[in-house]
Amino acid sequence: MLSTCIYKSPFGEIGLLKQRDNLLSISFVDTTFKHLEVVNKPKEFKEVVKQLNEYFYEGRKRFEIQYRLISSPFRSSVYEEMLKISYGSTISYSDLAIKAGKPKAFRAVGTACGKNPLPLIIPCHRVKGKSSLGGFTGGLDIKKFLLRLESI
């Protein structure tokens, strides 16, 4: 059974999706997960909401949320490296490709960022182009907001 909840962030609604105890997705776009059979169960998201509130309003720097990530081995390696990017820091797509063991795969790193099912938890907003912000699934306004929140 998939459960969902809408979290009201400082920049708008965010959809949260869980299966049992594992967070599966955070969505800035499809906040109700209308393509899935879900049950709205906000009480199941108490800890996730608590940590999101701490991140947005109290300076939480790392999330300690149980999640399940379903991805290819390459994307998993990119996400593992993304988790190492410190709060208040950024890295380029090309440097992240090097850290993930595929130095020429900076475009694939960008695709992995765009397909990240757990933005915020896996901080893809901290990945930028060498001379630009790059992209962001929720839109550049959200990416800019998150970078400002972290004083970047």
84 and 136 inside one domain: yes
Strands (E), 10-148: 12-19, 22-27, 38-40, 91-92, 127-128
44 and 94 inside one domain: no
Decide if 94 is inside a domain.
yes
Range of the domain at 17: 2-58
Tell me the average pLDDT across 144-152. Answer: 93
115 and 143 inside one domain: yes
**Are the CB atoms for 54 and 62 separated by under 8 Å?**
no
CATH number at residue 134: 1.10.10.10
22 and 78 inside one domain: no
- 115-137 per-position pLDDT tens digit: 999 999 999 999 999 999 999 98
Please give the distance of CA 89 from its chain centroid, rounded to a whole number: 15
- 16-43 per-position pLDDT tens digit: 999 999 999 999 999 999 999 999 999 9
124 and 93 inside one domain: yes
Tell me the average pLDDT across 90-103. Answer: 97
Decide if 66 is inside a domain.
no
d(CA 108, CA 69): 18
Decide if 38 is inside a domain.
yes
Please give the distance of CA 136 from its chain centroid, rounded to a whole number: 10
Active site residues per annotation: 124
Decide if 15 is inside a domain.
yes
d(CA 122, CA 81): 9
Q: Domain total for the chain?
A: 2
44 and 97 inside one domain: no
Percentage of residues of the chain with pLDDT beyond 90: 95
Decide if 85 is inside a domain.
yes
Percentage of residues of the chain with pLDDT beyond 70: 100
pTM of this prediction?
Answer: 0.93
Tell me the average pLDDT across 48-52. Answer: 98
- Name the maximum alpha-carbon separation found in the chain: 44
Decide if 68 is inside a domain.
no
H or E, element range at 92: strand 91-92
What SS3 class is residue 130?
coil
Residue with tokens 């879900």: 38
Residue 152: pLDDT above 90?
Answer: no
